[in-house]
Amino acid sequence: MNFKALLPILFWPVASSHEHHARRAQSQDPIAADTASINNIPFSTRAYWMRRANAASAELASPCPFAAFGTVIVNHTDSSKGALGKLVCIGINENGRVGNPVLHGEIAAINNCSSILTNSAGSYNLTAGEALDAFAKLSIYTNGESCPMCASAIRWAGFREYIYGTSIDTIIEQGWGQIRISSLEVFRRLFDLSTQSGLIGPILANETDPLFAWQFDPAAPCPEGCARGRMGVCENS
């Protein structure tokens, strides 16, 4: 018997009920307001770490790098440093600095955390296996919604939470080239990994949006500490 020919008959009713659910899910796309306290973490704490992600570029490169994407990775289950949680590592987009096209801020931060967690002379000194497991307790904050490569990396890592600032729609509207798949869509298609990740955003977009607004809009103001240079690009002033 030709089993393949039977498949559509056998599975058609299932597919159609799945389609129905997919449509309903789309009508539930909105996610929590940015001021909501999710996982018992108040907005003020979210805002603190998002500002820290914004500040990562200034700390590691310049207050107005072209690719102003910054990431911080935080342990919110560790209160030894206070109620805000404990910073594990930071990262910024390193494409231009090291010539590696996949080093978006999120990937750079994940690399950085891995090396910090497994450094045998560092304070964690985890084995590779322990480091992999450690991500399930960590939250990743990134000031721009992740591209699908990074959103996938975030799910492979199994972060407890992923929090973004500027939405991918805004990034596209601002003129950035982008692969048009939202993080929500990437997360929606991941149901067979053993880990779960919360998705929260946009958070503090009123402060993250301007960091990405000047690159393709000559009328947009430069971030603080920068001014338009001779080529019209915002430069450290």
Ligand X SMILES: *[C@@H]1O[C@H](CO)[C@@H](O)[C@H](O)[C@H]1NC(C)=O
- Report in angstroms how near the CB of residue 195 gets to ligand X at its nearest: 15
Is residue 211 at the binding interface for ligand X, with CB under 6 A as the rule? no
**Nearer Cβ to ligand X (135/187):** 135
SS3 49: helix
Among the listed residues 89, 107, 186, 226, the single contact to ligand X using CB under 6 A: 89
**Nearer Cβ to ligand X (95/186):** 95
- Report in angstroms how near the CB of residue 134 gets to ligand X at its nearest: 4
Of 13-21, 72-80, 208-216, 225-233, the segment contacting ligand X by CB under 6 A is: 72-80
Is residue 77 at the binding interface for ligand X, with CB under 6 A as the rule? yes
- Closest residue to ligand X: CB criterion: 78
Residues between 11 and 50 that touch ligand X (CB under 6 A): 34-35
**Nearer Cβ to ligand X (186/213):** 213
**Nearer Cβ to ligand X (37/206):** 206
- Residues within the interface to ligand X (CB under 6 A): 34-35, 60, 75, 77-78, 87-91, 108, 112, 117, 120-121, 125, 134, 137, 204, 206-207
